[in-house]
C-alpha cells in the first residue's frame, strides 16, 4: 500500500514555492519522488529554495512570473510544457492577502487579490490540463484556506477569492474527473509562515486562533506535506472535488 504514495517519475509545478507553505509542499512532493518545478518572483529566494528541495536527491527546475499578470502566467505554463513535455501535478499555491476592510479597499486591490489567488488557478489549470487529459492522468491541487468556508472582518477580497477557489475546485473536478484528472483543494488554517508574521505579532488574534482551534496552536508548514503527497498520489485515485481542511479542527468547532 505504501507504494501508492510514491511519485517517482511525476513532474510537479508548485506555485509560490520559494518560501512558506509552498516550499513545504515542494519538499514533501520531492521526498515522495517527484521532480519539482518551483515558482517565485525573488531570484535569490527561488535559488535557495531549489537548492533546499534538490537536497532530496530528485531533479528540480525553477520558473518566475508575476501571478497577477494572466498573460505572463499562461506564458510560463506554455514554456514549461515545451521544456518538460508535461506537468503531471499542478499545485496552485501562490496567494496574496491585502488586509483592508470594505470601506478602505480599492478596486485595484480587489482585482489584484482575485487575479493572484483565483484567476491564476484558472489560467494554469486551463493551460496544463490538456496534457494531463492526453496522458489519462493528472492531479490539480488548489490551496484554499479556512477562509474558503468561513470568513472574518477585514479581508473581503481574500475571502471572496478563497471561496472562489473552493467553487473552481469542485467545478473542475466535475469536468475533468472522467478524463483521469482529479481536482482537489487543501484548506489550511493558521500556519506559522513568513506571510503570517503580521498575525504572530497580534496578541488578540493569537488568543482567538488558540481559542477557536481544538489543537490550541498554529500549524507548522511541514504538517501540510502529507496532505499534498496524498492528493498527488495514486492513493487518492478516487478522491475528487474534496476540500481537505488542515486546520487543527478550527472549522469543525464552534
State whether residue 194 is helix, strand or coil. Answer: helix
What dihedral angle (degrees, nearest 10) is formed by the CA atoms of 221, 223, 224, 228?
Answer: 130
Q: In whole angstroms, what is the distance from residue 158 CA to residue 187 CA?
A: 13
Element holding 76 (H helix, E strand): helix 70-84
Choose the catalytic residue: 122, 158, 191, 218: 158
Alpha carbon of residue 151 to chain centroid: 19
Q: List the one residue out of 249, 241, 250, 95 whose CA is nearest residue 159.
A: 95
Q: List the one residue out of 70, 65, 69, 55 whose CA is nearest residue 13.
A: 65
Non-local (6+) Cβ contacts of 236 within 8 A are: 139, 182, 184, 230
**E strands, 52-108, where?**
60-64, 89-92
Q: In whole angstroms, what is the distance from residue 222 CA to residue 192 CA?
A: 10
Q: In whole angstroms, what is the distance from residue 138 CA to residue 161 CA?
A: 24
Non-local (6+) Cβ contacts of 30 within 8 A are: 36, 53, 54, 56, 58, 60
Per the annotation, the verdict on 158 as an active-site residue is: yes
Q: Which positions are annotated as active-site residues?
A: 158
Amino acid at each position: 500500500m505504501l507504494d501508492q504514495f510514491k511519485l517517482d517519475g511525476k513532474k510537479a509545478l508548485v506555485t509560490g514555492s520559494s518560501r512558506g507553505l509552498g516550499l513545504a509542499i515542494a519538499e514533501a512532493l520531492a521526498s515522495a519522488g517527484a521532480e519539482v518545478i518551483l515558482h517565485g518572483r525573488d531570484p535569490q529566494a527561488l535559488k535557495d529554495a531549489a537548492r533546499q528541495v534538490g537536497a532530496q536527491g530528485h531533479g528540480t527546475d525553477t520558473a518566475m512570473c508575476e501571478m497577477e499578470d494572466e498573460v505572463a502566467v499562461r506564458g510560463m505554463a506554455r514554456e514549461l510544457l515545451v521544456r518538460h513535455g508535461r506537468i503531471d501535478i499542478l499545485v496552485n499555491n501562490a496567494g496574496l492577502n491585502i488586509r483592508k476592510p470594505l470601506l478602505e479597499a480599492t478596486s485595484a486591490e480587489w482585482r489584484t487579490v482575485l487575479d493572484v489567488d483565483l484567476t491564476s488557478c484558472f489560467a494554469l489549470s486551463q493551460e496544463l490540463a490538456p496534457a494531463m487529459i492526453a496522458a489519462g492522468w493528472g492531479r490539480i491541487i488548489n490551496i484554499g484556506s479556512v477562509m474558503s468556508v468561513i470568513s472574518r472582518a477585514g479581508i473581503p477580497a481574500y475571502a471572496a477569492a478563497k471561496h472562489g477557489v473552493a467553487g473552481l475546485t469542485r467545478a473542475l473536478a466535475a469536468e475533468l474527473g472522467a478524463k483521469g484528472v482529479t481536482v482537489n483543494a487543501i484548506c489550511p488554517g493558521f500556519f506559522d509562515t513568513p506571510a503570517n508574521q503580521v498575525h504572530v505579532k497580534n496578541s488578540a488574534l493569537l488568543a482567538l486562533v488558540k481559542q477557536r482551534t481544538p489543537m490550541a496552536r498554529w500549524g507548522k508548514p511541514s504538517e501540510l506535506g502529507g496532505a499534498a503527497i496524498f492528493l498527488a498520489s495514486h492513493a487518492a485515485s478516487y478522491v475528487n472535488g474534496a476540500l481537505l481542511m488542515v486546520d487543527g479542527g478550527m472549522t469543525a468547532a464552534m
